[in-house]
Amino acid sequence: MHWDFALILGVLGIVVPILGRRRVRALLQLPDTTKLDRLSLYASTIAFQWLSVALILWRTIHHGIHPAQLGLSPAFNRISIATTIVISILFFLLQFISSRRLKAGADGSRGEAVQLALKVFPRDGGERLAFFALVSTVAICEEFIYRGFAQYVFQDWSHSLFFGLVLSSLLFSVAHLYQGKRGLVSTFAVGILFAGVRAWSGTLLPTIVAHFVADLTIGLLAPRLIREALATSTDDQDIGQSENRLVGSSKTRG
């Protein structure tokens, strides 16, 4: 393995997870985020991911690796198109279910996932446009970084498709350390599926589209559902308090 490839993989496996977890902790400590906070978060993520892609492309081209070897091939055939449609629908349904679970968990306990969703996801039209740019960037860049570059490097280094799939998926999972233990497991499973699709189809197109659909679905659905649940919970608490006051007043008069 080339030294620069090893260095890039080290940054992806160590620095990125640490910085991601630190950023999430800082967000969770805030009572709320401002519009500027959210837009700055989107912009910094977009810039970092495109810079990472540019660096990787520079080093892979320097070593004579053709972009097609990294999955950068359109491959517009029936198989790739059908695969794209199937896994995109699958991840839309999975994220729809996840957003419903977030809504169910949006009670007085307000877990980390709910708090993070409320602080990170867009709240108006302008933020949704910026979020669309973010989701597009993440889908393209992360698929290229993990299913294109990392999967190719690990497979080439180990001379094994199996290790290429597993190691790139582990790296992808660790990068999402901020999601907690459950997130690590689910992200690893997604990584394995995406890595398999990329190896089978020879292109990143299906996983890019599915990644985009998944992130956009949860980002647009979750905030509305969570706020509806919180509003309902608040109304129920107000009604309960009013009933308690009426009962107390009746006992006093009695």
Digitized pLDDT (tens) for each residue of the chain, 254 residues in all: 899 999 999 999 999 999 988 998 998 898 889 999 999 999 999 999 999 999 999 999 999 999 999 999 776 678 888 889 999 999 999 888 877 776 665 554 456 777 888 889 998 889 999 999 999 999 999 999 999 999 999 999 999 999 999 999 999 999 988 877 777 898 999 999 999 999 998 899 999 999 999 999 988 887 777 777 666 654 444 444 444 544 454 455 55
Q: How many residues are there in the chain?
A: 254
Contact 202, 75 (CB under 8 A): yes
Amino acid at 98: S
Contact 191, 168 (CB under 8 A): yes
pTM: 0.84
Task: Report the C-alpha gap between 210 and 90 in whole angstroms.
Answer: 8
Contact 61, 70 (CB under 8 A): no
Contact 158, 166 (CB under 8 A): no
